């Protein structure tokens, strides 16, 4: 979907370690959905981020879902919704009023999923190849 993404075979233990460190620094968690004797999906959420580096916004805090992935064979079975619900619960428990996430513009299936879960677009990043 994105020509600058690393190929799946290049993702490995280094990515998990980076995710664990980032999640820990943001007072977050990594959630795992299991079923049928296998991992069906995972989500990582940071519950304490700040807008203080945004020069055009008033200071506020928010939570952020960094990753949410579900095996293709487990999609449309409620796994993603359950993971996202758990992320929302963690954000609420941390006292946050907003939960953000990012999705690739070309990932129409994911965008439709998030819209069904009540998420709306607040910022679009546009790009032109030169």
Cα–Cα distance for residue pair 97/87, rounded to 1 Å = 13
Answer whether residue 84 is part of any domain: yes
Q: Is residue 125 part of a domain?
A: no
Does the residue 58 lie in any domain? yes
pLDDT by residue for the chain (130 residues), tens only, comes to 678 888 888 888 999 999 999 999 999 999 999 998 999 999 999 999 999 988 999 999 999 999 999 999 999 999 999 999 999 999 999 999 999 999 999 999 999 999 999 999 999 999 999 9
Q: Which residue, among 7, 81, 75, 16, has the nearest Cα to 40 in the 3D structure?
A: 75
Domain range for 108 is 8-116
**What distances in angstroms separate CA 70 from CA 60, 100, 121, one per listed residue?**
31, 18, 22
Assigned domain for 12 exists: yes
Strands 99-101 and 38-50: unpaired
Residue 57 in tokens: 């916004």
Does 123 fall in a domain? no
* pLDDT at res. 11: 87
CA-based radius of gyration for the chain: 16
- Does a structural domain hold residue 124? no
Determine the Cα–Cα distance for residues 36 and 50; give it in Å rounded to an integer.
Answer: 38
Give how many domains the chain has, as a whole number: 1
């Amino acid at each position: 979907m994105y020509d600058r993404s690393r190929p799946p075979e290049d993702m490995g233990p280094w990515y998990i370690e980076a995710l664990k460190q980032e999640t820990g620094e943001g007072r977050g968690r990594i959630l795992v959905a299991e079923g049928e004797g296998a991992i069906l999906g995972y989500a990582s959420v940071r519950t304490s981020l700040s807008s203080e580096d945004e020069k055009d916004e008033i200071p506020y805090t928010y939570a952020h879902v960094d990753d949410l992935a579900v095996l293709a064979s487990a999609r449309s079975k409620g796994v993603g919704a359950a993971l996202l619900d758990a992320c929302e619960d963690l954000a609420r428990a941390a006292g946050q009023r907003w939960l953000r996430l990012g999705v690739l513009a070309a990932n129409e299936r994911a965008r439709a999923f998030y819209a069904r879960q009540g998420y709306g677009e607040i910022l679009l990043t546009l790009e032109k190849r030169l």
